[in-house]
Amino acid sequence: METELKFALSPEARRRVERYLDRAGHDGARQVKVLNTTYFDSPDRKLSKAGFTLRVRELTADAQRFRQTVKSSGNGTFERQEWEWAVDGPQPDLGRLAEVAAFPLQGVTGADIRPVFRTEITRTIVTLRPAAGAKIELALDEGAVVASSGSQPVRELELELKEGQPAALMRLGLELLETVPLSLLIESKAQRGFQLVDGARPHPHEEESISLEGGLSLKEAFRVLAARLVDDLMAHQPVVLHGDSQEGVHRMRIDVRRLRSLLVLFEPFLEAHAAGHFEDELRRLGQVLGAARDWDVFLEETLPRTVDGAADLVLARSLRELASQRRHSAHQAAKKALLEAPFSRFVLAMRLWTSEKGAVLKRFAPRPLEDEAPAMLSRLERKVGKRLRACDVDQPTSLHRLRKSLKKLRYGIQYLQSLYDGDAESYLARCNALQKRLGNINDLGTFTRLAEELAQGTRLDLAPAVGMVAENAERLAKKDLDRLGGRLSRFAKARPFWT
């Protein structure tokens, strides 16, 4: 298993890393290697679709000149499985691939496997021993991904764990972030190469339902869930930066909400000081992503609903143009936030905190999750019940509070539902139906607020358009509010399946 961190490396960051290395102790002199690597696949991308990469690397100054490597997607953002062999030449030895578990050999022949692209990298390597028993290879890579369709520059810093525990790797990454402007990334050179060749862009990964193994303790369950959710968050970073930014922002905003809900679900068992700091950072990130998402919903969903006829369409045109500018600015702010040190620090610190002893308090850590799950869900359900009783359809704030509490309950159920043999489905369906109705009402309220913001200041010319869409939004909201009572009543009658 290979465990590594990867960062984008600007020229200024490279200089600061060099200064850091001058101060840090390391084993021997810095090594400089020229790495020419060819990546292989079938024309229909059978290997990459199955989550594998196959490459042959030429090491001109090495006795074993050619090295064949297979990597799989592994167990998460920072961990991948790796198999490596010395081979006789620049072509892959397909006979060795039978040693790779789950490798898609069925129907694959030597004629099917062809070179797709190559990388030409100059790598500077330094070995660090940041803690007892830990050995980490720091590599500064500069070069390019090269394909028949063009090339793309590569400037990266990689930290690979050679000996010791992953915690040492996270700590070293956090130490570097204190003095070096680094951006944590997860896209490999192979992924960038296939995108370059195929003209594809990063896309959201297929989300799988969360299923916890039986017999987990509170500490183990929290660690597993947190690692999964942080992996999901990082998996959508490339989509925001280089893919469909609108969908990427939407997915990352959901990932942030899920992480916040996890902290709420486990709140009675967590060390409060650290949990509070992580909650604050998630709230900040959620606000940045939320601003971009609000403008997406404004333009793509709510504005079309509030435009009624050709005359309204003409009137709303200038409103759409200014909203598009605001959306662009909000998306640029979201991208910037994902490339800055606070985001990288959050990801590494969250993984470090949840994988060590300090997250779940010692007096709770060994308790079986199954024993505590009913009380965990009941605590969230009581909050929903309290806000349900206080709900007033004429008070948008009360509806918004109910929606947020309902969302936390829904996520909590999703984390724990594998403990209940399918009994959660009907209850979740009622949660989803009520949350969707409340979400529609909230979107219309946000739309009106944003429309009024557009007309503030010197843009009095937008006042007629804002008045038109606000009136139509109010009419649509009234329809949703008229239907809300039935949803509220049906959910209030739902019996918690965990009691």
CB-neighbour burial class of residue 305 (10 A; exposed 0-12, middle 13-18, buried 19+): middle
Q: How many CA atoms lie within 13 A of 479 on its CB side?
A: 8
In this prediction the pTM is 0.92
Q: How far is CA 422 from CA 218, 348, 411, 498, in A?
A: 21, 34, 15, 11
* pLDDT for 94: 87
Q: How far is CA 427 from CA 209, 430, 490, 496, in A?
A: 16, 5, 10, 7
* pLDDT for 204: 83
Q: Please count the helices (runs of H) and the strands (runs of E) in the chain.
A: 15, 10
The C-alpha atoms of residue 202 and residue 239 are separated, in whole angstroms, by 5
What's the angle, vertex CA 106, arms to CA 104 and CA 112, rounded to 5? 85
SS3 82: strand
Closest CA to 3 of 227, 204, 218, 178: 227
SS3 151: strand
pLDDT in tens, the chain (499 residues): 788 999 999 999 999 999 898 886 665 578 999 999 999 999 988 888 888 999 999 987 666 789 999 998 765 678 888 899 999 999 999 888 888 887 876 666 677 899 999 999 999 999 999 888 999 999 999 999 999 889 999 999 999 999 999 999 999 999 999 999 999 998 899 999 999 999 888 888 777 778 898 899 999 999 999 999 999 999 999 999 998 899 999 999 999 999 999 999 999 999 999 999 999 999 999 999 999 999 999 999 999 988 876 557 777 888 899 999 999 999 999 999 999 999 999 999 999 999 876 799 999 999 999 999 999 999 999 999 999 999 888 888 999 999 999 999 999 999 999 998 777 888 998 899 999 999 999 999 999 999 999 888 778 888 888 888 889 999 999 998 988 988 898 888 888 999 8
Measured over the CA atoms of residue 283, residue 289, residue 295 and residue 300, the dihedral's sign is negative
Cβ atoms of 299 and 449 within 8 Å: the answer is: no
Cβ atoms of 127 and 26 within 8 Å: the answer is: yes
Residues 6+ apart with CB under 8 A from 416: 212, 369, 373, 376, 377, 498
Alpha helices in 97-217 (DSSP H): 166-177, 189-198
SS3 386: helix
* pLDDT for 81: 86
Q: Spell out the domains of the chain, with CATH numbers in brackets.
A: 2-200 (2.40.320.10), 240-492 (1.40.20.10)
* pLDDT for 356: 72
